[in-house]
Amino acid sequence: MAKSSPIPDTLGYRAILGAIVPSTNTVVQPEYEGMRVPGVTNHVMRMELPVRPYDDMKKYREALDTEEGNLAEAVRLLVNCEPDVIAHGHSIHSFRGNIDRAQADQDRLAQLAGVPFMTPSVSVVRGLEAMGLKRIAVLTPYWPPADELIRSFFADSGFDVVSQVGLKCQGPTNVARTSLDTIRKAFLELDHPDAEAFVHVGTNLPVSAITEEIEKASGKPLIGVNVATYWNALRSIGIQDRKEGYGRLFAEF
């Protein structure tokens, strides 16, 4: 959607950043607010998604391929505030297939929105590419069918997943209730001598604020899905500000 006026927004005088999150997500919005840079404002639209049945792995796997939600409607409403870029705060659907499929889907959403649209999978890959990383250890809040999908995505996109931990959270709102101590222990379990970096997938898992802590403890960069998506959204519209406190990707690249 083209800007209706050349006059900049008074608060978002550098950029208006739109974000779309699932209706159950309570982590993306506050984490994005923590990552804001001067002159950029964030504007969140929620979309409804059916809840995956975590007590039935066959139905859980089927849901990964069939659930749609109302993403298109959320985009239609969000563009009314004339954002400069949209960040998608929902992970799993963007990790189907490989990076070529993910890029094609991101391009389709950008065409629908009329502005750059950054998906989590493409953003994580761009972060790994920027840092020259190939061997990764992946943390998710998911159950085995989703973890298999994510492992396959990275393998088919040229990365080597040397370690993976899924926390098996029981429903989307419970993901956000995962304690920071549980997350810290999961990264300790995930650590592998062959891994060059950690990757975190799952936008409702509250990892961003402890990214720097995990990096210092392990000596390895952490490419978290929310940090990578916000970073990629800013970079896509030419905003190169670096941000301390959210890991090496945002602080150095």
CB atoms within 10 A of CB 186: 21
Nearest to 250 by CA among 102, 42, 21, 36: 36
Strand partners for 118: 87
* Torsional sign, CA 235, 239, 240, 246: negative
Query: Phi, psi at residue 150, to the nearest 5°?
Result: -70, -45
Averaged pLDDT score across all residues of the chain: 95
pLDDT in tens, 40-75: 999 999 999 888 888 888 888 888 877 768 999 999
Residue 56's pLDDT is: 86
Provide the pLDDT for residue 4.
65
Residues of the chain with pLDDT > 70: what percent?
98
Q: Is the pLDDT assigned to residue 2 strictly greater than 60?
A: no
Q: Which pair of tokens denotes residue 217?
A: 């403890």
Q: What is the pLDDT of residue 3?
A: 64
pLDDT at 1 over 80: no
Comparison of pLDDT for 178 and 64, the residue scoring more: 178
**Tens digits of residue pLDDT in 196-230:** 999 999 999 999 999 999 999 999 999 999 999 99
- Which segment of 30-39, 88-97, 183-192 scores lowest on mean pLDDT? 88-97
Q: Is 118 helix (H, G, I), strand (E, B) or coil?
A: strand
Question: Which alpha helices (H) appear in the chain, and where do they start and end?
Answer: 28-35, 57-66, 71-78, 99-113, 120-131, 144-156, 172-175, 180-190, 211-218, 225-236, 248-252
Give the helix/strand (H/E) hosting 163.
Answer: strand 160-166
> Any idea which residue has 């391929």 for tokens?
65
Which amino acid, one-letter code, is at 157? Answer: S
Burial grade of 168 (CB within 10 A; 0-12, 13-18, 19 or more): middle
Question: pTM, whole model, 2 decimals?
Answer: 0.96
Give residue-wise pLDDT tens across range 179-202.
Answer: 999 999 999 999 999 999 999 999
d(CA 26, CA 200): 17
Place of tokens 């899905």: 225
End-to-end CA distance of the chain, in Å? 29
Q: Which residues contact 90 (CB under 8 A, 6 or more apart)?
A: 20, 21, 22, 25, 47, 49, 120, 203
Q: What is the pLDDT of residue 54?
A: 81
Place of tokens 């799952």: 202
Instruction: Give the best-scoring range by mean pLDDT among 51-60, 91-100, 126-135.
Output: 126-135
Compute φ and ψ for 63, nearest 5 degrees.
-65, -30
Q: How far apart are CA 131 and CA 153, in angstroms?
A: 19
